[in-house]
């Protein structure tokens, strides 16, 4: 696993041991960021269920202004800290449950990545998205990563603008509708 492009291009990342965390493949991450284009530049980014941090670190490498990484798994958190240090582009690491973090969050974001464990139910993903909406700027984008073959989330206030499949991964992209 490595940073695909930008300031930290080629920098190697480590992944957590075991199967509890499954980082997005380099191929899927490369396609995702190609589809996002310049949205990432100077964006304030939220990386929920950050795991190894590969998505948020890719955003920083490609010019994001800031990234907040939220992770509650201790093994993943240790790897996340190592990767943030290794890449050297910063980022704020929050050790917290995603929903609890969103309940208390007062920061707004241009772009958010929601990459929960595949076992998390669709209802739980939709709950996270509902809590995320007030934290998104109008016109802000959300990317949701789920296993292929699962139903996509539907949440009032988020317009589905893209869906792409890469092997056993599906990425849905949503945009916050005007208030």
Answer for the pair 34, 13: CB distance below 8 angstroms, yes or no: no
48 part of a folded domain = yes
Taking only the tens of pLDDT, the chain with its 179 residues reads 889 999 999 899 988 775 555 667 788 888 899 999 999 999 999 999 999 999 999 999 999 999 999 999 999 999 999 999 999 999 999 999 999 999 999 999 999 999 998 889 999 999 999 999 999 999 999 999 998 888 889 999 999 999 999 888 899 999 998 76
pTM: 0.93
Domain of residue 64 covers 26-176
Query: What is the CA 68 to chain-centroid distance, rounded?
Result: 10
Domain CATH number, residue 46: 3.40.50.150
Number of domains composing the chain: 1
11 part of a folded domain = no
21 part of a folded domain = no
8 part of a folded domain = no
3-state secondary structure 38-81: HHHCCCEEEEECCCCCHHHHHHHHCCCCEEEEEECCHHHHHHHH
85 part of a folded domain = yes
């Amino acid at each position: 696993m490595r940073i695909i492009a930008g300031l930290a291009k080629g920098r190697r990342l480590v992944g957590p041991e075991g199967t509890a965390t499954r980082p997005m493949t380099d191929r899927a991450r490369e396609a995702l960021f190609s589809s996002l284009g310049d949205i990432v530049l100077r964006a304030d980014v939220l990386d929920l269920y950050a795991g190894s941090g590969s998505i948020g670190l890719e955003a920083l490498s490609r010019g994001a202004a800031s990234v907040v990484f939220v992770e509650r798994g201790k093994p993943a958190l240790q790897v996340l800290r190592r990767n943030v240090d290794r890449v050297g582009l910063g980022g704020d690491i929050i050790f917290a449950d995603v929903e609890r973090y969103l309940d208390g969050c007062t920061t707004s974001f241009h772009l958010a990545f929601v990459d929960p464990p595949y076992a998390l139910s669709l209802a739980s993903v939709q709950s996270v998205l509902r809590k995320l909406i007030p934290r998104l700027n109008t016109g802000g984008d959300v990317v949701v990563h789920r296993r292929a073959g699962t139903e996509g989330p539907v949440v009032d206030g988020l317009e589905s603008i893209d869906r792409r499949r890469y092997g056993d991964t599906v990425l849905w992209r949503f945009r916050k509708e005007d208030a």
